[in-house]
Structure 1
Amino acid sequence: MGKHGKKQSVNHRRGKKSSYILQDNEGGEINDYPLNPPSALSDSDRESQEEEEEEEEEDNQENDEGSEIIAETDNALPSKFSLYQQSVQSPKGDISYLQKFFLMYVGGRAPLHLQEDFCGTALLSIEWLHGDARRTAVGLDLDIEALDWCLENNVNRIGPDIRSRISLFHGNVLQPLESKWVNFSPDEILQKMTLGDNEGESMDGTPSSCLEESAKADQDAKSLNDVQLPPRDIVCAFNYSCCCLHSRKELILYFKHARNTLSRKGGIFVMDLYGGTSSEGVLRLQRRFPNFTYVWEQAEFDIIQRKTRISLHYNLHKQQRKIRHAFSYSWRLWSLPEVKDCLQEAGFRSVHFWIRSMPDSGQIRCTDGFSAGRDIKYEEATSFQQQDSWNAYVVAVA
C-alpha cells in the first residue's frame, strides 16, 4: 500500500481513457501513458472480482454490511479526490525531504521554484507555497478533471497572493511544452507579474507601463512553451507516477524534460518508488479512517513485462456505500537500477537512493490510518537487502 497512491481519473467501473499519443519521428513508437486506462476486466471478471472482495472484507462487516456499490458521481458521496488526499498524500513530509535533498546536493541557496509533475489536485504544490512568500509552483497533469477539482477546492480556497504564485497545466509529461495553461484570470496574471520586490515591476524588472500589455499576452498564451516562468529548483514526480510510463524510451524522454526544466544554477529531480517481494504478487491492503476505509488492490504481476494493475477503492462508513475502482491504472514496476541508468542517460550527473523498510504486508492487512510505518525514516543507501516491502526516494542531481 505504501505512502502514496495515484491520482488518475477513471469513469467508475468503465474506464474512460484520456491520453496523448506521441509521434516519434526517429522511428519506433512511443506509447501513450495510461493515466486513465480502459478496464482490462470483462463484466464476468468484474462480478467474480467483486465477490472475492466481499469475502475479503468480512473483518470490516460492521462498516460495510448492507453496502451498495455505486457510481462515484453520486452527489451524496464525498469527492474521490478529497478521499484520495486524505488517505494517500502527506505533502508536509515530502516537502521536508525535498528541502533536505536540495540543500544536501545543491546548496548555496534556498529552493524557491517547484514543479510537480503528475500533480493531480496539486496538494503538494499548494503546501509548498505556504512555506515562503517567494515560492512559486508549477503543476502538470493529464487529468483535466483532477485539475478542475483542484481549482475549485484547493486553489480557490487560498489567498490571492498564494493563488497568484501557482500555474497549472493540462498536458502530457512526455510533451510538456504543449500542455495548456488552465488557471489564471487576467487579474491574477497581472498580480503574478508584480510579485517582484519593487512595486510596479515584474520579477524580471519589467516596468509598470508594460505590465498590462504583457498580462494580455500571457492571457492569450496557449501552452507552457508560451509562458515565461522561473527555472525550477526542484522537479518532483510522486505517488509512484513514473510507473505510468511503460517503456525505457518513455522514461528517458520524461527525465530529459525534467532535467531541461531545472535551473542552470543547479537543481534536483525527485521521484518515489516502491518494491519488495509483496509488490510482485496479488495484494490487498486496507487503511481505516474515521469516515471511510481505503483499499489498495494489486492484481497479478507479470514478471516478464513487470506490469500489474492497481485499483483504489473506498468504503464509506456513514453512507454504507462503496466506491469501487475510484482510481485504476496499469503500472510498469521499475527497479531502482533501471531508474538510475535512465536518469544517467538523460544527463543527470549523480543519482542517490533514500530508502525505508515498511512493515510486512502479511502483518498489516488492515491498519488504522497512517499508523503503519509512520515513524520509519528514509536513509541514504548504496545497497539494501530485499524485504517484503520498501519505499524509496530517488534523487537525481543536475
Structure 2
Amino acid sequence: MSKSKSKNIKSGKPTMASVADRFDCYQKSVQTPDHEVVFFEQAYRDAYGSSPTDLREDFCGTFAICCDWVASKSKRTAIGVDFCSETLQWGRDNNLAKLKKSQQKRVRLIEQDVRKRNRPTVDVLAAQNFSFWIFKTREEVIEYFKIARSNLRSKGVMVMDMMGGGECYEEGLVDKRKIVKGKKGFKYHWEQVSFNPITADASFAISFKFADGSKLKRAFEYHWRFWTIPEVREMLAEAGFSESHIYWENDDDDIDDDEYSNWE
C-alpha cells in the first residue's frame, strides 16, 4: 500500500480509485472517436470516392464513436449495437446527453447480439478495439462477417482494428501510459495476462493507477482468440467480401502525411 493511499484511509477520505468512473477512464485512455471518424471517412473515400453517411458500430459499448459521427455532419446517422445494458446506459447519460437534440435523434441504439441482421443497411460498419476476437473459432468469425456484410449496402466498407507483433505474445507484459497529469491524474495499464500458443487463446486486462497511489485493478478483462491479419483476410474472403486492405498506423511524429496513409 502506498503512503498516499494510507493517508487517505487514515483521514477517512475516499481514494481516487474508489470514486473513479471506469467507463470515463476507459474513454480517456483508449478511445479517440474524432480520429476514428476521420479514418472511416478516409477508408470509404479510398474505396468509392465519396463521403459516407450512415454508420453502424458493432460492440459499441458507450458508443462514443456514434456520437462523434453524427456530430461531424448534419445528415449523418449512427446505429450502435451492444448487448450490455449497463454500458449503453452510461453512454446515454454521458455521451448522448452532450449532443444537441437534433443530433441525438440521429443515433439509434440496439441492445442485442451483433450477430443479427438489422435494417436499414449502412455505408460503414465498424468493429473496433479487437472486439470480434471474442469469437474463438473460424466458424463463429465467418458467421459474424457474413452477417456484418448483410448489414452493409452494396457500396459499403467494414472497418476493424488489429494488433500484432512479437511483444503481443509475451505474458506479463504491461504497457503503461500517463493519461491525465497532476493531482487528479491517472495512469493506464494494459496487461497481457496470458497467451496459449497452441490455441491462441489470450487474456488481457486494463487497470488504472491514480495520483494518490490507489488502483482500479483489472477494471476491464478480455478473454479472446488472438487472430492474425492473414487469418482475418482469409475469413473475410470466405464470408463474401470482395477485397480487403491493410492500413498501417503512422506512429512517427515526423510524418506529415495522413495518420493512416500506408495501406496495401
> Normalised by the size of structure 1, how large is the TM-score?
0.59
Tell me the number of residue pairs that the alignment of Structure 1 and Structure 2 aligns. 252
Aligned to 2:209: 315
1:130 aligns with 2:23: no
* Counterpart in the other structure of 2:196: 302
Report if the CA contact (8 A) 1:356-1:376 is conserved. Answer: no
Alignment of 1:136-285 (within 5 A): 136-174=77-115, 176-177=116-117, 225=118, 229-264=119-154, 266-282=155-171, 283-285=173-175
Counterpart residue identity of residue 62, structure 2: T
Amino acid at match of 2:177: R
Which consecutive unaligned segments of at least 5 residues does structure 2 have? 10-15
Paired residue type of 1:306: A
- In structure 1, C-alpha distance between the alignment counterparts of 2:18 and 2:200, rounded to whole Å: 39
AA partner of residue 348 (structure 1): F
Counterpart for residue 12 of structure 2 = none
- 1:172, CA displacement in angstroms? 1.2
* Alignment-mate amino acid for residue 133 of structure 1: S
Mapped partners of 1:237, 1:322: distance in 2: 29
1:317–1:252 CA distance, 2 compared to 1 (3 A): same
- Cα distance, 1:122 vs structure 2: 0.2
Higher RCO (C-alpha 8 Å, min separation 6): 1
Matching of residues 1-398 of structure 1 within 5 Å: 77-107=19-49, 109-174=50-115, 176-177=116-117, 225=118, 229-264=119-154, 266-282=155-171, 283-289=173-179, 290=181, 291-318=185-212, 320-356=213-249, 377-382=259-264
- In the alignment, structure 1 segments of 5+ residues that lack a partner are 1-53, 55-60, 69-73, 178-224, 360-370, 383-398
By percentage of residues, which structure has more strand? 2
The residue type paired with residue 88 of structure 1 is V
**2:208, 2:190 → 1: CA distance?**
9
**Separation of aligned partners in 2, 1:164 and 1:236:** 20
Which whole-Å deviations, capped at 9, do the CAs of 1:103-133 have from their partners, x for residues lacking one? 11122x4210000011000001100011111
Structure showing greater Rg: 1
Cα deviations across residues 169-220 of structure 1 (Å, max 9, x unaligned)? 111112x24xxxxxxxxxxxxxxxxxxxxxxxxxxxxxxxxxxxxxxxxxxx
- Between the aligned residues of both structures, percent identity stands at 31
Question: Cα gap change, 1:379/1:129 in structure 2, threshold over 3 Å: closer, same or farther?
Answer: same
Give CA deviations for 1:238-281 in whole Å, capped at 9, x if unaligned: 111121111111111111111111112x0100000000000011
Moved over 2 A (4+): 61-68, 356-359, 375-382
CA shift in 2, pair 1:104/1:231, >3 Å:
same
Give me the CA root mean square deviation.
2.7
Give the match for residue 387 of structure 1. Answer: none
